[in-house]
A = this chain, B = another copy of it.
Amino acid sequence: MASPAVRDQDNHNDAENSSIGYCGKVMNKVVEFPRKLKKFGQDDPRRIVHSLKVGLAVLLVSLLYYFQPFYNGLGDTAMWAILTVVVVFEFSVGATLGRGLNRILATFLAGALGFGVHHLANLSGDIAHPILIGIFVFLLAASVTFIRFFPRMKARYDYGLLIFILTFCLISVSGYRDEEILEMAHKRASTILIGAFIAVFVCVFICPVWAGEDLHNSVAKNIEKLGSFLEGFGDEYFKVVGSGESNMAHLQGYFSVLNSKQSEETQANFARWEPRHGRFRYRHPWRYYLKIGNLTRQCAYRIDTLSGYLNSEVQTLLNIQNNQVQELCMKMSSESGKALKELAWALKTMTEPCSAASSHITKSRAAANNLKSMLRTNAAAVAGVGGDQVRLLDIVPAVTVASLLSEIVAYAEPIEKSIQKLASLQHVQFKSAERKKPTALTSCKTSSSNVGPHHVITMDRLASLQVQESNKEIGSKFQRIRSAV
C-alpha cells in the first residue's frame, strides 16, 4: 500500500531521540554543538564575517564614550548611537540602508511633528495640555499602526513607521520646555546619524553582502536546480531495476524552490535600497526577478508532481521499455534540463541567453513533437509489441509522465523569454553572447532559422494545433516511425 510520503525532516530526529535518555540527549547536544557551529559557519562563511562586522561596529561606536570631545558634547544621549548601530545593522547592505534611512527619516519627521504638537499643547493652557496631547498620541499611534498593515508600506517602511510612532510619543509626551526639547532633539538626531553612519560604513565597506546580488544568484540557482532534476530524471525513471545506484538525493534539490517566494520578495525589497554595485546599476529592475521566480516556482510545482511518479513501485512497464517512448521522454527531460541549466548560467553571468539554450529548447520541443506524432499514429506503436492490443492501464504512468514532461518542457521557453526581456530592460547590463561566443552564436542563428518560429507545445493542446514539422530531424524520425508501424 503506497501513500503520499510527507517530506518531514523531524521524523528522523524523533526516532533517534526516543532511543536515548534525557541525559544522553543533553550530552549529545553539548558534544555536537561545536561541530554544528563549525558546519553552520562553513555553510555560509559570510555569517562569520557579518558577526565580526557587528562586533567591530559596536566597538567603534563604543569608542564615542571614550573619545572625550564627543562625550562632552553628547553626554548620555551617546547611548542612542549604540542603540542605532545594534538595531540598524543587518546582514545585507540593502536591509541596513533601508533600516538606517527609515530610522533617520522617521526620527526627523516625527520629531518635527511631535515638537509642533507639544508647542500647540503648551499654548492651550495647563488643563487642556494633557487632553490635547492624549488625543494626538492616540490618533497618530492608531492611524500609523493601521498604515503598517498595508503590504506595500509593510515591505519598505515598516520600521520607519514604528520609529515614527515612537519618536512622536517620546517628544510630544515629554514634560520638557520647548528649548530643552530642541536641544534633546538636536543631540538625539546627531547620535542617530553617527550610529547609522557607522553601521552603514562598516556594512558597505567591509565585505559587503548585497541583497540584490543574492536575489540574482538565488533566482539563477533555482532555475539550475530544476535543470539538474530534469537532467537526472530520465535516467532515474527509466533505469532498469538493479542497473545502478539510485540518484534520488540529487533529485531533491528542487525542494527549496517550492517555498522560495517570500525570501525572494524580501530580498527584492532590500535590493531597492541598494546603490549601484558590481554588475548592477542603480534602478536595476529587481521586481522583474520576482516574475522569473514565479515562473520557476510554477515549473517546480509540476516537477514536484512529476517526482511523485519516481516513487511509484512500478516505474516503467516492460512492454514500453524497449521502444522509442522511453528515448523521447529521456530526451525531452535531459534537453529541457540542459536548457534550464544554460539559462541559469546565462542569468548568473548576465550573458544574453542564446545559442546553447535555444538549441536545447528546440531539441526538447522536437522530442515532444516526435512523441506526439508517434502517439497520433497508432496506439500499438506505444506498445511496441507488434499487433497486440494495448491495455490502457499499462501505459497510464508512461503517458502521464510524458504529458507532464511536455508541460514542463513548455516552461523552458517562457523562462528563456523572461530572461531575454530582463536583458533588454532599462538599467540592465547583460553581456552580449556575440562577443563571448562567436561560434556558439552562429550555431544558434542557424538552428533558429532552421526551426522557424518557436512552438510551445504541450500534449494536451496538440489536438487543436496544426503543427508544422519544420525540423528535418523530426521529419525523418516521423517517417521512420510511420514505416515501422
List residues of A whose CB falls within 8 A of some B CB: 1-4, 6-8, 10, 37, 40-41, 47-48, 50-52, 54-56, 58-59, 62-63, 65-66, 71, 79, 82-83, 86-87, 130, 133-134, 137-143, 145-146, 149-150, 162, 165-166, 169-170, 173-175, 258-259, 261-262, 287, 291, 294-295, 297-299, 301-302, 304-305, 308-309, 312-314, 317, 372, 375-376, 378-379, 381-382, 389-397, 399-400, 402-404, 407, 410-411, 413-414, 418, 455-465
A-B residue pairs in contact (CB < 8 Å), sample of 18:
A1-B455, A3-B413, A6-B291, A6-B418, A7-B294, A10-B287, A40-B149, A51-B143, A55-B140, A65-B173, A82-B173, A86-B162, A302-B305, A309-B460, A312-B460, A375-B391, A396-B399, A400-B404
**Contact for A3 among B56, B79, B410, CB less than 8 A:** B410
A317–B79 CB distance below 8 A:
no
Bound complex: CA of A162 vs CA of B260, how far in Å?
Answer: 26
Closest to A129 in B: B66
Closest to A259 in B: B261
Bound complex: CA of A188 vs CA of B475, how far in Å?
Answer: 82
A145 and B400 contact, Cβ closer than 8 Å, known pairs A375-B392, A413-B3: no
Bound complex: CA of A82 vs CA of B137, how far in Å?
Answer: 11
Bound complex: CA of A139 vs CA of B55, how far in Å?
Answer: 7
A2 and B313 contact, Cβ closer than 8 Å, known pairs A261-B259, A400-B399: no
B6–A71 CB distance below 8 A:
no
Count this chain's copies in the assembly: 2
Known: A71-B175, A379-B392. 15 other contacts (CB 8 A): A2-B456, A4-B298, A37-B146, A41-B146, A52-B142, A54-B141, A55-B142, A62-B169, A86-B141, A302-B305, A312-B461, A314-B464, A375-B392, A375-B393, A399-B399
**Contact for A461 among B6, B314, B378, B455, CB less than 8 A:** B314
A456 and B8 contact, Cβ closer than 8 Å, known pairs A65-B173, A166-B83: no
List residues of chain B with CB within 8 A of the CB of A410.
3-4
List residues of chain B with CB within 8 A of the CB of A52.
142
A394 and B463 contact, Cβ closer than 8 Å, known pairs A50-B145, A58-B137, A298-B4: yes
Bound complex: CA of A378 vs CA of B391, how far in Å?
Answer: 6
Bound complex: CA of A404 vs CA of B305, how far in Å?
Answer: 8
B404–A173 CB distance below 8 A:
no
Q: How far is the CB of A21 from chain B (nearest CB, A)?
A: 20
A298 and B6 contact, Cβ closer than 8 Å, known pairs A1-B456, A308-B407: yes
List residues of chain B with CB within 8 A of the CB of A41.
146
B317–A173 CB distance below 8 A:
no
Closest to A262 in B: B262
A59–B138 CB distance below 8 A:
yes
A314–B407 CB distance below 8 A:
no
Bound complex: CA of A393 vs CA of B405, how far in Å?
Answer: 15
List residues of chain B with CB within 8 A of the CB of A404.
305, 400
Bound complex: CA of A23 vs CA of B390, how far in Å?
Answer: 67
Bound complex: CA of A37 vs CA of B153, how far in Å?
Answer: 13
Bound complex: CA of A55 vs CA of B143, how far in Å?
Answer: 8
B291–A82 CB distance below 8 A:
no
**Contact for A62 among B51, B134, B262, B462, CB less than 8 A:** B134
Q: How far is the CB of A398 from chain B (nearest CB, A)?
A: 9
Bound complex: CA of A2 vs CA of B140, how far in Å?
Answer: 52
**Contact for A165 among B58, B145, B389, B465, CB less than 8 A:** B58
B396–A459 CB distance below 8 A:
yes
Bound complex: CA of A396 vs CA of B398, how far in Å?
Answer: 10
**Contact for A48 among B146, B312, B372, B396, CB less than 8 A:** B146
List residues of chain B with CB within 8 A of the CB of A50.
145
Closest to A57 in B: B141
List residues of chain B with CB within 8 A of the CB of A375.
391-393, 396
List residues of chain B with CB within 8 A of the CB of A174.
65, 79
Q: How far is the CB of A187 from chain B (nearest CB, A)?
A: 13
List residues of chain B with CB within 8 A of the CB of A392.
375-376, 378-379, 381-382, 395, 399
Closest to A146 in B: B51
B134–A59 CB distance below 8 A:
yes
